[in-house]
Amino acid sequence: MDEHLAATLTTAVHERVDYLDHLAADEPSRAALAETEITRLTSAWRVLLELHAPDGHGRCPHCSTWRRPRRPCTVWTTAHQHLNCADGSPAHRAGRHASAAGRSTVAVLGAS
Ligand SMILES: [Zn+2]
């Protein structure tokens, strides 16, 4: 992707997110948002999560590198923080016993 296209896409996406935030703050607009935008946002999340789906070893093909093969996938950790944690704050540091402690297995994907 060239620099100009990247800048255009970045600006367009930021403007859209700002617009949705603006609508979400407007009480009468919320029902319309729920009908249209939630499906679009969940579809976008599904595409991102599929692109970052862990391989047979639990590693993300995009976020794991030969230098850091066990690096957690930033897309999955961000999704978990914002979709599963009520306040969107960073989840507890995932450990190898995270699922045994009752946390989602998503939190342990790619964790060392
Ligand atoms: Zn990833």
Instruction: Locate 62 and state its tokens.
Output: 């995009």
Q: How far is CA 91 from CA 18, 23, 106, in A?
A: 25, 28, 11
Nearest to 109 by CA among 68, 80, 67, 66: 80
Flag whether pLDDT at 89 surpasses 60. yes
Range of the domain at 80: 55-112
Task: Examine the domain organization and report whether 68 and 82 are in the same domain.
Answer: yes
Amino acid identity, residue 89?
Answer: S
Answer yes or no: do 65 and 92 share one domain.
Answer: yes
Distance 50 CA to ligand 1 centre (A): 9
pLDDT of residue 1: 72
Secondary structure tally for the chain: helices H, strands E:
3, 0
Provide mean pLDDT across the span 75-100: 69
Same domain, 75 and 94: yes
Distance CA 17, CA 24 (A): 10
Same domain, residue pair 20 and 37: yes
| Residues 31 and 60 both lie in one domain | no
> What global pTM score does this model have?
0.68
Mark whether 111 and 59 lie in a shared domain. yes
Residue 111 in contact with residue 70, Cβ under 8 Å?
Answer: yes
Q: Which residue has the tokens 């897309």?
A: 75
Specify whether 42 is located in the same domain as 62. no
pLDDT digits 0-9 by tens, 4-62 = 999 999 999 999 999 999 999 999 898 888 889 999 999 999 999 999 999 998 899 88
**Residue 109 reports pLDDT greater than 50:** no
Domain-ending residue, one of 51, 66, 93? 51
Q: How many Å lie between the centroid of ligand 1 and the Cα of residue 27?
A: 35
Residue tagged 């999340």 (tokens):
45
Largest Cα–Cα separation, the chain: 50
Give me the number of domains the chain comprises.
Answer: 2
CA of 26 to the centre of ligand 1 (A): 34
Distance between CA 19 and CA 30 in Å, rounded?
Answer: 12
Residues 42 and 60 reside in one and the same domain: no
